[in-house]
Copies of this chain bind each other. A is one copy, B any other.
């Protein structure tokens, strides 16, 4: 979903009813210059800030999962006790800032193509993801 598009139409196209909650979530998620990385908690906060009527937590979960299933959000594994999502659903890698807990996209020029020599019989590769953890230079090494 590119920015400033008609979210009502887009939602209908992919078979999701354009409820006001979903349209609002589209605006918050996709009306941006850059891709957006967030946890459910981040999103709930953002939504409650930008709305007069709040969206229930269950709906935020439902909708995030619905968007993920349709391929408009991607879950990123970083932390074992919180889910991070990314509005950039293309295959790409990440930096994770361990000080601020921020995710940063890598673009293609940042990391050479990963060459995998091993083959697991009967299995196909679904995805290859690199996570580069970074932290402040001038503090005790993790």
Interface residues of A (CB under 8 A from B): 75, 77-84, 95, 97-99, 104, 106, 109-112, 114-118, 120, 122-138, 141-142
Q: Are A81 and B83 in contact (CB under 8 A)?
A: yes
| A85 nearest CB across to chain B (Å) | 10
Q: Are A110 and B117 in contact (CB under 8 A)?
A: yes
Q: Are B80 and A95 in contact (CB under 8 A)?
A: no
Most buried by B among A75, A126, A134, A136: A134
Q: Are B98 and A126 in contact (CB under 8 A)?
A: yes
Contact A135 to B130, CB < 8 A, known contacts A80-B77, A81-B83, A117-B111: no
20 A-B pairs besides A99-B123, A125-B134, A126-B142 with CB distance below 8 A are: A80-B81, A80-B83, A81-B83, A97-B123, A109-B117, A110-B116, A110-B117, A110-B118, A111-B115, A111-B117, A116-B132, A120-B134, A122-B136, A123-B136, A126-B133, A127-B133, A128-B130, A128-B133, A129-B133, A131-B131
